[in-house]
Amino acid sequence: MTNLNEIKQQILTVLITVKNQLRQNYHFEQVNTKTNRNDLVTDRDISIEKTVVRFLKEHFPQAQIVSEEGYGNHPQNLKGLVFFVDPIDGTMNFVKCHDQFASMIGVYEDAQPIFGAIVDVMQDKIYYGGPEIGAFIDQQPLKKLDDLPLNKVLITISNRLLQNDAVTYQDLVSNSSGLRIFGSAGIVFTRLLTGKEHLYVGKFKPWDLAAGRAIGKAIGIDVTPIDGAPINMLKSQLVIVGTRCATQQALDVISRVK
């Protein structure tokens, strides 16, 4: 059986190291594009991912690793212990010298979230937790979130979704208290965890969701695929992340418009 305390200590250790390195040396040498001109990777994304993957392999040799830039194991299933690594989440913000970027690691066992941690580099804060241990910001417990209706909450939607399907999501925004956009899934999760926004809609990769999903589960945040399929942490999915009542009402709005 997995030692959750050991996982927590090791994940916090490696993410705090990454955060300190980025804060001491906010710098990159190279920027390349991946799937499109706004999908970026820098030499720092790669060097951080290599550091984290090396650390995880050394401390958890039996585990599988899914990591964004390709230095993990590319597992075909989620049996046993699986780590999901996003070395810099919000690379565009990092390149543009915006404050909002994060590093994150999600830990799953037999496909179930057990632990996650998100470090907000520039705010120097670490959010972590899981269904069994609760949610924390820098050792302080986070409160269970109020289950507010859609018309009482701020929402956030990924840029890409708004570009591709403005009509559906315009309707969603007009049924809410308003829209905020941040450019980093990790940072949005930290805002959901502290009740600033209550809903987040987008098409995300497993490493965008893994850590926040594990922490959020402890305080009333769910990740719900919009097409009604079960969540699959080995592929990209269009999902709503958020508290229950607002999520249900958002799904109703989307199905009415579509």
Shortest distance (Å) from residue 86 CB to ligand IPD:
5
Shortest distance (Å) from residue 207 CB to Ca ion:
6
The strand order across the sheet containing 102-109 reads 64-67, 81-89, 102-109, 112-120, 125-130, 134-137, 140-141
Nearer to Ca ion, 180 or 205 (CB): 205
**Residue 90 touches ligand IPD, criterion: CB under 6 A:** yes
Q: What is the sign of the dihedral through the CA atoms of 159, 160, 164 and 169?
A: negative
Residue 158 contact, options Ca ion, ligand IPD, none, Cβ 5-8 Å cut-off depending on partner type: ligand IPD
Shortest distance (Å) from residue 158 CB to ligand IPD:
4
Contact 216, 197 (CB under 8 A): no
**Residue 129 touches ligand IPD, criterion: CB under 6 A:** no
**Residue 89 touches ligand IPD, criterion: CB under 6 A:** yes
Q: From the list 137, 176, 208, 249, which residue makes contact with ligand IPD (rule: CB under 6 A)?
A: 208
Nearer to ligand IPD, 10 or 184 (CB): 184
d(CA 255, CA 246): 14
Residue 131, judged by CB atoms within 10 A of its CB (0-12, 13-18, 19+), counts as middle
- Residue 71, strand partner residues: none
**Residue 185 touches ligand IPD, criterion: CB under 6 A:** yes
Cα dist from 43 to 17, 33, 77, 133, 206, whole Å: 17, 12, 29, 35, 22
Q: From the list 67, 91, 103, 247, which residue makes contact with ligand IPD (rule: CB under 6 A)?
A: 91
d(CA 107, CA 81): 7
Q: From the list 106, 113, 116, 183, which residue makes contact with ligand IPD (rule: CB under 6 A)?
A: 183
**Which residue's C-beta sits nearest to ligand IPD?**
185
Nearer to Ca ion, 89 or 197 (CB): 89
Q: Which amino acid does the sequence have at 29?
A: E
Q: From the list 106, 113, 130, 202, which residue makes contact with ligand IPD (rule: CB under 6 A)?
A: 202
